[in-house]
Amino acid sequence: MEISGNLNAIGYGLSAIGGGIGVGLVFAAFINGVARQPEAQRVLQPLAFMGLAFTEALAILGLVFAFVWQ
């Protein structure tokens, strides 16, 4: 059996693992915080999305490099 295609797709998949775990951790902490102290949601929400944005960066670089380094 012959498999054809580009290894870049696998590389992007690997780089998305880290981003996935990171985003999961960020939102788990956010939900924990809000569950313990619901009135803190206003303060925590921008922080959670900031954490999301920073953690995503690696997965985004992976996606872009998968297309760039053909």
Partner 1 sequence: MIALALPAATNESEGFVPPTIDDLHLPEILPWGAHYGEGFGKQMLLVLLSVALISWFLVAASRRRQMVPGKFQFLGEFSYNFVRNSVGKDLIGEKDFRPYVPVLVSLFFFILVNNLFGSIPLLQLPTTSHVGTSYALAGIVYILWIVLGIRTHGIGYFKVAVVPSGVPKAFLLPVVLIEIVSNFVVRPLTHSLRLFATMLAGHMIIALAASGSAFLLTQTSGIVPALGVLTMAGGVGMYLFEIFIQVLQAYVFVLLTAVYIQGSISEAH
Measured from the CB of residue 69, what is the shortest distance to partner 1 in angstroms?
A: 14
11-70 residues in contact with partner 1 (CB under 8 A) are 42-43, 45-46, 49-50, 52-53, 56-57, 60-61, 63-64, 67
Is 14:21 a contact under the CB 8 Å cutoff?
A: no
- Angle 41-46-50 from CA coordinates, rounded to 5°: 135
Q: Which amino acid is present at 39?
A: E
Count of residues that interact with partner 1, criterion CB under 8 A? 15
Q: Rank residues 29 and 44 by Cβ distance to partner 1 and give the closer one.
A: 44
Tell whether the torsion through CA atoms of 40, 43, 47 and 49 is positive or negative.
positive
Point out which residues bind partner 1 (CB under 8 A). 42-43, 45-46, 49-50, 52-53, 56-57, 60-61, 63-64, 67
